[in-house]
Amino acid sequence: MHNKLKMENSDMQNSSHYFQYWNETGFPKEKRMHGFSYILFFSLYLRTKKIELFYYTTSEKEKNLDVLNGKIFHLSKHVVNSVEDKLNGFNNFVEMKYDLKGI
C-alpha cells in the first residue's frame, strides 16, 4: 500500500497546492484508497537531507572497502564475509563480483 501511494503521487512537488512554513516548503495531498483517507506530505528539505545522507553513507562504505584493497586472504569465504561486513546494509546498492583466483 505504501509503495503504491508513493508511486501514484510521485509528482507531488509539482502541485499548485503548496504551503510555506518558516523556511520550508511542503506539499500536502489527500488521497482516498480502499475506503481509507491518507494524508501525504512531500518536503523538499527532508528529501534533500535523505539524499545527502545517502551519498555520505555511500562514501563511507567506499572508504571501508578501500581498506580491504591489497589485503591477503587465505580463504574465499573470508573475502566474501569481509566485503559484506564492510558494506553492512548496502549490499543491495552494490554489485559484487569476486575474483577468487587472486584471493
Q: What are the pLDDT tens digits along the chain (103 aa)?
A: 566 666 666 666 666 777 887 888 888 777 788 888 887 778 888 888 999 999 998 898 888 888 877 777 777 777 777 877 888 777 777 776 766 665 4
**pLDDT of amino acid 7:** 62
Residue 10 within any structural domain of the chain: yes
Residue 22 within any structural domain of the chain: yes
Domain that holds residue 41: 2-93
Residue 98 within any structural domain of the chain: no
Residue 102 within any structural domain of the chain: no
Residue 49 within any structural domain of the chain: yes
Name the pTM for this structure.
0.59
What the block records as the C-alpha cell of 53 is 545522507
Residue 42 within any structural domain of the chain: yes
SS (H, E, C) 55-98: HHHHHHHHHHHHCCCCCCCCCHHHHHHHHHHHHCCCHHHCCCCC
